[in-house]
Chains A and B, each alone.
Chain A
Amino acid sequence: MITTDICIIGAGPVGLFAVFEAGLLKMRCHLVDALPQVGGQLSEIYPQKPIYDIPGFPSIQAQQLVDNLMEQIAPFKPGFTLGERVDTVSRLDNGGFVVQTHDDTRIECKVLVIAGGLGCFEPRKPVINGLEQFEGKGISYFVKNPETFRNRKLVLSGGGDSALDWAIFLAPIASELTLVHRGETFRGAPDSAEKVVEMAHQGQLRLLLESQITEVAGNGHLQSLTVSSKHNGVFNLEADHLIPLFGLTPKLGPIADWGLALDKSAIEVNVDDYSTSTPGIFAIGDINTYTGKLKLILSGFHEAALMAQSAFKYVYPEQKLSFKYTTVNGVNAF
């Protein structure tokens, strides 16, 4: 069990900055994020894009902002649990919470801050008959351990960079690798696309272009796929494993089940301190909603500061909070 003052769900820019604001008030933080890296949508979707509306930065690349935030919060030594999605939140008798991830990591905290953006990033799933029935039984959306596929018949589906990169990497490991792609050409990195086509010519992998998987079948474990191809009609393909690679998209996920007041897919908050309908739980950044809400990083930073002032009374109920400027007091690390 990890114990901390504040557990922050979501390690995007707002979750990261919350560590700073909490740290100034001597509250320790632990961040949890479903993605394997910090930065949220900045790192996942547009790391190379410039952002123009961060005060003091006429222009800053999204990933640079994340790197700067990590440097800024380093003195406060936050803990991180990455690549795990928070599934449940339970209230303790002492007023605190226990947060549990899908990998059974448990975090005990006095205050819970939800900075979950648009939700957890989860893989996009193709619409294929029988797909969910074979999840974990031949169908997966990530490559956790390439050795799983050694000497197995592996099918990848998709036409982006990750489909190309994994095809190149896994072809020598699998006994047979087939890449199924809807288009007639690849739009990904030209070098990778060329390499895949070259490997197909040399018989190192099989390329099925202008084709789509329409059905999956097996007996307890995936055994075959039905492919519909523009030029070769409909046919069956033997497969031990299928990895659909269509990138990630955010889903609200389990947050919807925690009993918080929601408006559509956003958490309703009190604008005095961005507290939710449950005492001790706050929601900041894109995940919250209130009259006049602007989904800006700027607004999320402000919300983090006000949240921290209010969270203090849960962490240090006996103490009186005195507001201090960093210019006068500096950033006093733990």
Chain B
Amino acid sequence: MHSKMIELTVIDRQGQEKALQLVEAEEANLMETLKNHDYEMRATCGGLALCADCHCLILKGQDQLAEPQDEELMTLETRPDAQDNSRLACQLKVSSDLHGVLLQLTNYAN
């Protein structure tokens, strides 16, 4: 089977911007995938959309992502720095939706 490549750009917690190539994997979430690619990722809740450690801002391509569910939106309320383009990486699938996206990881504390 031919697996699709996804290209996206990630700004890490230190502000470094880097292009990232991922193999499409519907069963994987972006939080775990970024962690596997050595991005600093604490993930207190382990991917349950409950801790907001994987909060990120979608700077490009927000409209192509699947809409957030209630649990994700509720958890985003706990981030004082949340914006209209805030998402939790643990709730994003590693799918072609992410192709061309530019996202920025934010500091845990806020």
Contact = CB atoms under 8 A, between A and B. Distances in A.
Interface stretch (A102-110, A122-130, A275-283): A122-130
A124 B42 contact: no
Interface residues of B, number: 21
A96 interface: no
Contacts of A249: 44, 51-53, 108-109
**A49, A124, A126, A251: which has the most chain B beta carbons within 10 Å?**
A124
Interface in A228-271: 244, 246-247, 249-251
Contacts of A250: 44
Contacts, number: 60
A124 B79 contact: yes
A288 to B, nearest CB: 15
Interface stretch (A144-152, A180-188, A198-206): A180-188
B27 interface: no
A127 B80 contact: yes
A92 interface: no
Given A45-B44, A45-B50, A187-B70, A124 B77 contact: no
A46 interface: yes
Nearest to B108: A249
Contacts of B52: 247, 249
Given A45-B44, A45-B50, A249-B51, A183 B110 contact: no
B80 A41 contact: no
How many chain A residues sit at the interface, stated as a range, is: 20 to 34
Interface in A109-150: 118, 124-127
A118 B50 CA distance: 15
> Would you call the interface of chain A mostly helix, strand, loop, or mixed?
loop
Nearest to A164: B77
A246 B109 CA distance: 11
Interface in A145-198: 157-160, 182-183, 187-188
A49 B50 CA distance: 10
B28 interface: no
Interface string A10-47: 00000000000000000000000000000001000110
A34 B99 CA distance: 42
Interface of B: 42, 44-45, 48, 50-53, 70, 73-74, 76-82, 108-110
Given A46-B45, A249-B109, 14 more contacts: A46-B50, A124-B79, A124-B80, A124-B109, A125-B110, A127-B81, A127-B110, A158-B77, A159-B77, A182-B82, A187-B74, A244-B80, A246-B79, A247-B78
